[in-house]
Copies of this chain bind each other. A is one copy, B any other.
């Protein structure tokens, strides 16, 4: 298994459904890097088309991996070392496979399926264990991944839901990433 994650800042939706570019949130990088490392994902690509925003993400990474942050909390260096800051998803595909998009399985996560067929977590867990190509799971910031990313995916993972709906389903991207990794790669103990 080779698994990587991508935190997508463009193209994503805003709350009115328009395609926008979102700003980088410091805690997204920390939380998703820590979750990635805990579950064995090899990379967390931070995808941002704006150079100044990429520089911010690089500064956060350097502070924790090489700077004073590392001396204060060495564990955090191990986590943030999984960050790769890239300008586009194509750049992430290229980093994972010399064949680019064709060499990578793209999986999407979304709070709603928008009518497209989805794959259950049980099936994706089995598929991940047997994947021959590297798998890249996309997580959207803002109000979620743009429709063209979801349409282009090899696997659209089913929305995360509670067993008994509480009538509310608005997890943060940090929480959704943690739950997705746990459903795909978490320990399953007997009662």
Contact = CB atoms under 8 A, between A and B. Distances in A.
A62 to B, nearest CB: 20
Contact of A38 (B169, B174, B182): B169
Contact of A163 (B79, B158, B171, B186): B186
Nearest to A74: B15
Size class of A's contact patch?
35 or more
A175 B120 contact: no
A191 B158 CA distance: 11
A164 B186 CA distance: 8
A163 B163 CA distance: 22
A73 interface: yes
Interface in A4-48: 15, 27, 30-31, 34-35, 37-40
Contact of A121 (B30, B38, B162, B189): B189
A122 B188 CA distance: 8
Given A158-B189, A160-B186, A37 B166 contact: yes
A190 interface: yes
21 contacts: A27-B172, A27-B174, A34-B175, A38-B168, A38-B169, A39-B166, A40-B162, A40-B164, A40-B166, A79-B168, A79-B170, A160-B186, A161-B186, A161-B187, A163-B186, A174-B175, A176-B178, A178-B178, A179-B179, A179-B186, A182-B183
Interface of A: 15, 27, 30-31, 34-35, 37-40, 73, 75-76, 78-79, 120-123, 126, 158, 160-164, 166, 168-172, 174-179, 181-183, 185-191
Given A34-B175, A35-B175, 5 more contacts: A27-B27, A76-B170, A79-B170, A120-B191, A163-B185
